[in-house]
Structure 1
Amino acid sequence: MAHDDLPSNETAHENLDGVKAYDGPAGGWGALRAVALAVRKQMGPSANARALLQMNQPDGFDCPGCAWPDPAHTSSFEFCENGAKAVTWEATAKRVDPDFFARHSVEELWGWSDHDLEDAGRLTHPLRHDPATGHFVPIEWDEAFARIGAAMQAMDHPDQMEFYASGRASNESAFLYQLMARSWGTNNFPDCSNMCHEATSVGLAQSIGVGKGTVTLEDFEHADAIFCIGHNPGTNHPRMLGTLREVSRRGAPIIVINPLRERGLERFQDPQQPVEMATLGATSLASAYHQVRVGGDMALLKGMMKALLAADAADIAAGGPGLLDRAFIAEHTTGFEALKADIEATTWDGIERRSGLSRAVIESMTQVYAAAERVIVCYGMGLTQHRNGTENVQQLTNLLLLRGNFGKPGAGICPLRGHSNVQGDRTVGITEIPTERFLSRLDAAFGITSPRKHGHNAVEAVAAMRDGTARGFIGLGGNLASAMPDPEATFAAFRKLDLNVQICTKLNRTCLLIAGESIILPCLGRTEADMQASGLQAVTVEDSMSMVHASRGRLKPAAESLRSEPAIVAGIAKAAMPHVAIDWQGMVDDYDRIRDKIEEVFPDFYDFNQRVRVKGGFRLRVCASNREWDTPEGKARFFVHPGTDEDEGKSDGPLTLATIRSHDQYNTTIYGLNDRYRGITGRRDVVFANADDLAALGLAHGDRIDVVAGPDRVLRAQTAVAYPISRGSVAAYYPEANCLIALNDHDHRSGTPAYKSVPVTLRAAQ
């Protein structure tokens, strides 16, 4: 296995509490032990543990975790460690009932950690904050809806409401939610996509005509090479490891480009392989692992294109056909000559300085790329959460277009989405920038007049709340206040609201940001049976590869008083807009009626109810998969982005920090305080840094340090951990490190916050 020449960073860990080098593979017995512990801790002797066997099965429920697709032929169990944690977290035996809130005031709960808030258990009753006592108190559903409706009607303008959606929501609830907001009169849809893959949605749509990945799971069986850039499958999408294992075992190279050395990209022990488990064996994944500097992705990609163009010219000079797919470029693309000129003008000095990689290393990656007839590039938020996230995505697309790696088996682009239906929510209308075509069809289907003015994304929504131009907020899942940058500004913005409504399964910090009227509405989880007037309901989700399939919960709900997300949305809509002639209740009574309306508005969902009842579901049209380009020119477009820096050298200082998730975490949900694959146990107050960078600052492994991003942006009292990370790069946990990021520090084209490109310095703790 080829690796860059870096210091091992294997310093003495023995004397540092909770820090010990991890030597095992990803998966394996460690994963099984973690699943068993999660089941025992959350479910106890409950029969709910059997729900794990229903996860990702054709007649079961979709994993509430990541959006990695299900294989065509499912095994006896189709879940990973983090998926199992998500299910035990939701199907826990613990309850947060009215007695809990009688014992604990909001002021007290604010002092709890994020982990402790959610670990308390499932919410059981609708609640409102009582200003007289400082406690949440139970209320009836009808009163809750009436209070929300009255507060909405007190707004001066529809745009004073913000409607946030999480990727946990199903297609059915998301569609009703966007219908409610547009019937209300706004396109204010801050969404979890804004914080992760909005750069993908914007960048790919401009380049290839669709803001989604172009590959299927089957394409991995035919790829000649896989490139993994800026993602960590061992923690964020562990079921991908089984796919990478099969790629590796058939001999195709897997090239990893990532600042941190991550065990889930190095080797994997498959819990579903008895021989591998019994012999304590493991499969090597990365055939080469290159540790790019944080924020150096554009420079790296330009370097690969520069090397490819040079090799192409040399091949032609030697009498060969060249390495570019000239027929594809001529027939299917525009802008090639401008891109070529920009790449040729980019110097190797700038590429090496910014990427942190040598020319020889970049050329070695290019040789693998050029030798492969079919290439898939997978990427995650390590590429998108930068000030130039959209440009990163488009440079990656440029690289693939040069050799025609779209629209053929085994080739394409694979953005790794986070939450299980974050892509589906967007597909069915959760967007602040809707098209006229979509709005016209929605208006015709429901007899409404949707607003045409573009609405707020997540950053704009918080800014509007801060400035007083937004006064009401409804959150369909998620924990937006904790997820956003600049918690001081974000928390203050929420506390200025007249209305804060949270639709959720568990208590979180956003629930505790008290507005004029604060209401918590507890909903059913993905694992639970959803009974409506027509019987047991199924919902649908869309995975990362545009497959739409059904999800059916079977567990008894955590409380009889819980309602489904569609039912809650309909209840709010009826209370806030009694004059709107939409049969909200009819759609809640039978979700087939919601799907009929989705089909009416979105033609790609033709025969929705029939096709979703087929085992495995169906794939939505992805134009670029068929070499069809829904762009103004009808062709894929090469985009030119001069330079190699994110923002005129702003991130070209000595250290750049990326926020990361631990292995015991999913988004803002923290299951525990361990980060097994990075050797961290029982703590989150650590900063990962290269040993040589620490030494250059007069610091050492184990020192207590502050991370400084500005006079008012300091992450205090952390512990420095020497770790195999590229020089000039630093990593700290999200959301704790969000205090280092200003609200306006984001990608100017997509609005994605720059969680992974924070210029910082380190100092001894003060």
Structure 2
Amino acid sequence: MVDIEQPQKKAAGVPAVLSSFKFGLHEMGPLRTGKVFQKMNQDGGFDCPSCAWPDPDHKRKHAAEFCENGAKAVAWEATRKRVPRAFFAEHSVAEMDRISEFELGKLGRITEPMLLRAGATHYEPVGWDEAFQVVARHLKALVDPNDAVFYTSGRTSNEAAFLYQLFARAYGTNNLPDCSNMCHESSGTALSKVIGSGKGAVTLEMLEESELIVVVGQNPGTNAPRMLSHLEIAKRNGGSIVSVNPLPEPGLKRFMNPQRPRGWVGKGTELADQHLQIRIGGDQALFLALGHLLLEAEAAAPGTVLDKSFIESHTSGFELYSKHNAELDWAAVEQATGLRRAEIEELAQRFIKSKATVICWAMGLTQHRDAVATIREIVNVLLLQGNIGKPGAGPCPVRGHSNVQGDRSMGIWEKMPDAFLDKLDREFSFTSPREHGIDAAATVKRLRDGAVRVFFAMGGNFAMATPDTEVVHRGLRECDLTVHVSTKLNRSHTVTGREALILPTLGRTDHDHTPAGPQSVTVEDSQGAVHLSTGNLTPPAPEMKSEIGIICGLAQHVVPDVGQIPWADFADDYSLIRQRIGRVADGYEDFEERLRANEGGFLLAHAARDKREFKTSDARAQFTANDLTWLPTAPGRLLLQTLRSHDQFNTTIYGLEDRYRGVHGTREVVFVHPDDLADLGLQDGQYVDIVSEFEGVERRASHFQLVSYPTARGCVAAYYPETNVLMSADDLAKGSNTPVAKGLTVRLEPRS
């Protein structure tokens, strides 16, 4: 039943606790729930497979170091439900394709390899050896290894990611697209150039001691709920918090911390001191204006605003930047941002007052056409006051999936530098390819052209995560073989090549025991901390393999004689993998030894954060001059952003509830400002088609219910993946190639 209520004004608290345990008990039962929740994000336990938010050190960890969405992610994986052979025998692939994404995920864990043979209508169970032989037959038949694509989800462990890229390169291709291409690629692209590292330069402790935290284009209450606890600590320490977002999100209004009595019976903590309801695409203009105001304030009172010593000693490009920013078209800024000048000036005063500022952001920034320029403007503002490489300050991209940052460290990238590949070649005595591979957006284009013969996915749901949904589905169906390493069913398993394989794998919660004994894996969180993850549940079936076991088994069938790679040894003893990682991956030197010496893990070095050293082209942090760009719209047109509901993580749907936004029982809704509804002659509750317009091509998402909502004027929002059909594979962020999911020009057509 569809029910639309008023959005909430606070987050977490008792409802979050009840929701966590209700979901856990339903999926796992009481004993299993207690066992799982007790070990989640704890030393000696397993890392949450959901977001990449870091864990506090062992001295500060709570007994329940998890959030509502993390609890749902774990319960979703650790469910007692299984998909039996009978399901595949009774349901053809065409029938499975008619089951909703939500219902597919509810069916349970997959327990044995399933093969769709060429010309068949149903999956059938096969043994592991036959499954590997099928993949080997297809890969060995390719004349050009670049006709195969090896996709990676962000939940893959460091060890599995390292072996996966090693296998792909031993096979002969750098076609290693991953989910980072579609989320934080813009962050890495921008930061690498201007500070010398694509990773954020802030730790948990630094965040908590910040005097000013600006949260831009992020909804931590849903996407990284544990972040709220650390924002609360910063607030108690006297810090100020500002949110910048087209939607007012309850997590930054008031936080009811379930770890504290005040979060159960009190009023909680009011987090945001100021909320700037920015127009979609106006963030670059905002930070350009902030830089302008800081320069003006310094000119009016020399030596009181900017950190001239830092600028002179550690940066380049300041003169060009300041000259470029001297003149500012305030009318354009106000039109681009939808903000009043007074609001921006108030925020500028907060920057001036602060001696230690952190700026956080997520996909609300990274998925714009001008995301790279926007993030560079953020860095400009931070550099003006020396807000990098000191306590309480720095850039803080908040990455989404659990180990997406670790994947990149391990070599999951289509453009890994030669220095990494040279070390890889020396370590394993083979020659890896040097021709750059393709990213996620280029993969979609190759699929559109029918140029992908084998598509192999290590986790994820590529069929729904990417733009141009219909194009992707058509391209996947034209592949000779599609393979998905998965824990549960999703849409990608019903959008198959001429042959298709589902290879079931152990999850984070599952105990992994090999002939060498119990095994653990590692992950790298969003702030560069590395720690062990050890599952504690009996696997769903005795013959299931880990991702590492699957990669090693496959490699022994496909590339057994390439180089000197002990695949069988790696499958048995993961410490051997970590020893090799330590000799190849930057920052992971003496990997296994450091893990043994630090039970809670260790923090990777970051030159800019730790020593104010910048590994850029001139060994300095670089100011950049970026022309102002924004998104004008014609009459009757609106700007769309795609977003998550509170009951999902990426493409995984846990339920049909978005409690914070007041939406229950449906996902096909579009949030519109009440004044925009009136101007367009539309009514709350009316059904419309959302039609996107890009370079003369229209794309349509049908039958969405209008929800009157306090968004920024001229801006609308709707859930993905349902609205990914509106995105174009040709509409990409400049410099990073990230598909644009924020700032789509759309119109709303009433249903007859």
| Shorter-normalised TM range | over 0.9
Deviation at 1:17, TM superposition (A): 4.2
Deviation at 1:653, TM superposition (A): 8.5
Who is 1:730 aligned against? Answer: 716
Alignment counterpart, residue 290 of structure 1, candidates 273, 276, 280:
276
Alignment counterpart, residue 72 of structure 2, candidates 85, 94, 97:
85
Deviation at 1:616, TM superposition (A): 1.8
**2:348 aligned partner, one-letter code:** T
* Superposed counterparts of 1:301-312, under 5 Å: 301-312=287-298
Q: What 5-or-longer segments of structure 1 have no aligned partner?
A: 1-15
Q: Secondary structure at the match of 1:135?
A: coil
Alignment counterpart, residue 28 of structure 1, candidates 13, 19, 25:
13
The answer as to whether partners of 2:10 and 2:256 remain within 8 angstroms in 1 is yes
How many equivalent residue pairs? Answer: 744
Who is 1:689 aligned against? Answer: 672
* Superposed counterparts of 1:574-589, under 5 Å: 574-580=556-562, 581-589=564-572
Deviation at 1:729, TM superposition (A): 0.8
Who is 1:242 aligned against? Answer: 229
- Distance, in Å, in 2 between the alignment partners of 1:144 and 1:115 is 27
Deviation at 1:220, TM superposition (A): 2.0
Who is 1:527 aligned against? Answer: 509
Alignment counterpart, residue 595 of structure 1, candidates 578, 581, 603:
578
Calculate percent identity across the aligned residue pairs: 46
Q: If the length of structure 1 is used for normalisation, what is the TM-score?
A: 0.95
**2:133 aligned partner, one-letter code:** A
Deviates more, 1:250-259 or 1:665-674: 250-259
Who is 1:252 aligned against? Answer: 239
Who is 1:7 aligned against? Answer: none
Who is 2:617 aligned against? Answer: 632
Who is 2:395 aligned against? Answer: 413
Who is 2:640 aligned against? Answer: 657
- Distance, in Å, in 1 between the alignment partners of 2:629 and 2:297 is 21
- Distance, in Å, in 1 between the alignment partners of 2:415 and 2:391 is 33
The answer as to whether partners of 2:49 and 2:73 remain within 8 angstroms in 1 is yes
Alignment counterpart, residue 645 of structure 1, candidates 625, 630, 636:
630
Q: Secondary structure at the match of 2:123?
A: strand
The answer as to whether partners of 1:651 and 1:759 remain within 8 angstroms in 2 is no
**1:714 aligned partner, one-letter code:** R
The answer as to whether partners of 2:636 and 2:680 remain within 8 angstroms in 1 is no
The answer as to whether partners of 1:351 and 1:644 remain within 8 angstroms in 2 is no
Deviation at 1:280, TM superposition (A): 4.0
Indicate yes or no: 2:318 matched with 1:332: no
Deviation at 1:603, TM superposition (A): 4.4
The answer as to whether partners of 2:40 and 2:48 remain within 8 angstroms in 1 is yes
- Distance, in Å, in 1 between the alignment partners of 2:490 and 2:88 is 13
Q: Secondary structure at the match of 1:605?
A: coil
Indicate yes or no: 2:606 matched with 1:622: yes
Runs of 4+ that moved beyond 3 A: 130-133, 649-654
Deviation at 1:654, TM superposition (A): 4.5
The answer as to whether partners of 1:269 and 1:281 remain within 8 angstroms in 2 is yes
Q: Secondary structure at the match of 1:122?
A: coil
- Distance, in Å, in 2 between the alignment partners of 1:727 and 1:82 is 30
* Superposed counterparts of 1:380-419, under 5 Å: 380-419=362-401
**1:667 aligned partner, one-letter code:** N
- Distance, in Å, in 2 between the alignment partners of 1:576 and 1:507 is 26
Who is 1:669 aligned against? Answer: 652
**1:759 aligned partner, one-letter code:** T
Change (3 A) 1:718 1:474: same
Deviation at 1:518, TM superposition (A): 0.5
Indicate the RMSD between aligned Cα atoms, in angstroms. Answer: 1.5
Q: If the length of structure 2 is used for normalisation, what is the TM-score?
A: 0.97
- Distance, in Å, in 1 between the alignment partners of 2:688 and 2:278 is 24
The answer as to whether partners of 1:333 and 1:635 remain within 8 angstroms in 2 is yes
Q: What 5-or-longer segments of structure 2 have no aligned partner?
A: none
1:206-245 CA-to-partner distances (Å, cap 9, x unmatched) read 0100000001101123211110000001110000011111
The answer as to whether partners of 2:24 and 2:33 remain within 8 angstroms in 1 is no
Change (3 A) 1:23 1:199: closer
Who is 2:471 aligned against? Answer: 489
* Superposed counterparts of 1:691-710, under 5 Å: 691-710=674-693
The answer as to whether partners of 1:163 and 1:475 remain within 8 angstroms in 2 is yes
The answer as to whether partners of 1:49 and 1:88 remain within 8 angstroms in 2 is no
Deviation at 1:509, TM superposition (A): 0.7
- Distance, in Å, in 1 between the alignment partners of 2:262 and 2:644 is 31
Indicate yes or no: 2:477 matched with 1:472: no
Who is 2:436 aligned against? Answer: 454
Q: Secondary structure at the match of 1:544?
A: coil
**1:628 aligned partner, one-letter code:** E
* Superposed counterparts of 1:184-263, under 5 Å: 184-263=171-250
Who is 2:155 aligned against? Answer: 168
1:625-681 CA-to-partner distances (Å, cap 9, x unmatched) read 0211001100011122112326xx579984210000000000000000000000011
Deviation at 1:336, TM superposition (A): 1.1
Deviation at 1:346, TM superposition (A): 3.1
Change (3 A) 1:93 1:651: farther
Deviates more, 1:670-679 or 1:598-607: 598-607
Change (3 A) 1:712 1:652: closer
Alignment counterpart, residue 463 of structure 1, candidates 423, 428, 445:
445
- Distance, in Å, in 2 between the alignment partners of 1:520 and 1:492 is 19
**2:502 aligned partner, one-letter code:** I
1:139-158 CA-to-partner distances (Å, cap 9, x unmatched) read 00000001100100011101
